[in-house]
Structure 1
Amino acid sequence: MQAANAPAATRARILSGKFTGNSEVHFNGNIAFSSAKQLFYSMGHEFIHVSQYAALMG
C-alpha cells in the first residue's frame, strides 16, 4: 500500500476503461493488524466501499 497512514484501501477494478463491479481490498499490515479492534474497524469500513462499488458500478 502506498498510503502509509491508512489501515486499508479499496480499489475498483477497471477493464478497458470500464468499471467491472469488482474491487480489491488491500490492508496495511502494520496498522490494520495491530489489534483485533483495528482490524474489525478497517474491514468494516472497506466493506462499505466494496458494497458501494458493487451497487453503483456493477
Structure 2
Amino acid sequence: MDERLPDHVMMRVPDLLDRLSEDRELVFLSSSAPVAQLVPVSELRVSRAGWA
C-alpha cells in the first residue's frame, strides 16, 4: 500500500489511520491557533479503540 499523501489533505481520522503504518507520525495543525503538534499514529490508534 502506498503511504504517501499530498502535503496538505483533509480526511477523517479513521480513514487516515487505515492508510498509515504504526511507526509513522503526523502533524496536527490547530485551526484556532498557530500551533502544530507531532502525533504518533500508534497513540491515535490507542485513542481510537475507545471511540464509540
Tell me which structure has the larger Cα radius of gyration. Answer: 1
Higher RCO, 1 or 2 (CA under 8 Å, sep at least 6)?
1
Q: Which structure: greater helix fraction?
A: 1
| TM-score (norm: length of structure 2) | 0.30
